[in-house]
């Protein structure tokens, strides 16, 4: 499949569109993502995420359509004597746009942010089907929970 470079930026409330929800649907039928739950519930979740300090980002196709999203959180970690680490969650690429480089652009954006914020590590929990994706991006895969991790 052809690889492209996708613009990635922080998400705003204006991005809470049906196409954003379609990206989340690739994560599977969770309570918040079911289309009958609707955008109002997603908007509330987005607000709560922001309040809690989580950043959400979106990837855009050349015509400005949202084709993927991911969230991350920077925290101070006991394991690193209080240094920062970055946690990654909800990496989701629209079903019709997978294997074109969108996911890689999202994770590389977060990794660049984590480096900018002098994080010591970037980590998350991978689904069984996505392990190879994280491995290809240079993450170490380990532990029974499917964790992925990279020292920065
Ligand atoms: C997993 C996911 C985020 C990957 O995003 P993507 O845009 O399809 O992946 P990319 O095109 O950026 O792939 C980057 C590399 O990983 C590989 N890759 C991607 N998904 C893969 C998979 N499921 N299995 C094996 N390799 C995979 C690609 O082939 C590519 O390798 P290459 O550089 O050697 O060509 C996306 O498929 C998705 O949203 N899946 C459903 C939700 C999900 O599982 N999210 C992960 C939550 S932990």
Measured by CA distance, the residue closest to atom 10 of ligand 1 is 101
Q: Is the pLDDT of residue 38 over 80?
A: no
Q: Is the pLDDT of residue 37 over 70?
A: no
Confidence bin at 36 (pLDDT 50/70/90): low
Class of domain 7-121: alpha beta
Q: pLDDT digits over 107-127, tens only?
A: 999 999 999 999 999 999 998
Give the span between the Cα atoms of 33 and 42, in whole angstroms.
8
88 lines ligand 1 (CB under 6 A): no
Ligand 1 centroid – CA 78 distance (Å): 31
Ligand 1 site-directed mutation target among 24, 27, 99, 122, most atoms within 8 Å of CB = 99
Confidence bin at 144 (pLDDT 50/70/90): low
Q: pLDDT digits over 7-27, tens only?
A: 999 999 999 998 998 999 898
CB 77 within 8 A of CB 87: no
pLDDT at residue 110, rounded to an integer: 98
Tokens of 143: 């532990």
Measured by CA distance, the residue closest to atom 47 of ligand 1 is 91
Ligand 1 centroid – CA 50 distance (Å): 26
Give the span between the Cα atoms of 106 and 5, in whole angstroms.
10
């Amino acid at each position: 499949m052809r690889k492209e470079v996708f613009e990635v930026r922080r998400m705003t409330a204006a991005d809470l569109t049906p196409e954003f929800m379609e990206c989340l649907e690739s994560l599977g039928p969770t309570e918040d993502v079911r289309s009958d739950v609707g955008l109002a519930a997603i908007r509330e979740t987005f607000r709560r995420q922001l309040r809690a300090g989580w950043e959400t980002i979106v990837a855009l196709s050349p015509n400005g359509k949202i084709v993927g999203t991911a969230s991350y959180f920077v925290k101070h970690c006991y394991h690193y004597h209080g240094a920062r680490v970055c946690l990654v969650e909800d990496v989701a690429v629209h079903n019709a746009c997978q294997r074109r480089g969108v996911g890689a652009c999202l994770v590389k954006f977060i990794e660049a942010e984590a480096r900018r914020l002098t994080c010591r590590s970037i980590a998350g929990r991978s689904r069984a089907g996505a392990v190879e994706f994280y491995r290809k991006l240079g993450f170490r895969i380990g532990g029974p929970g499917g964790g992925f991790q990279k020292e920065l």
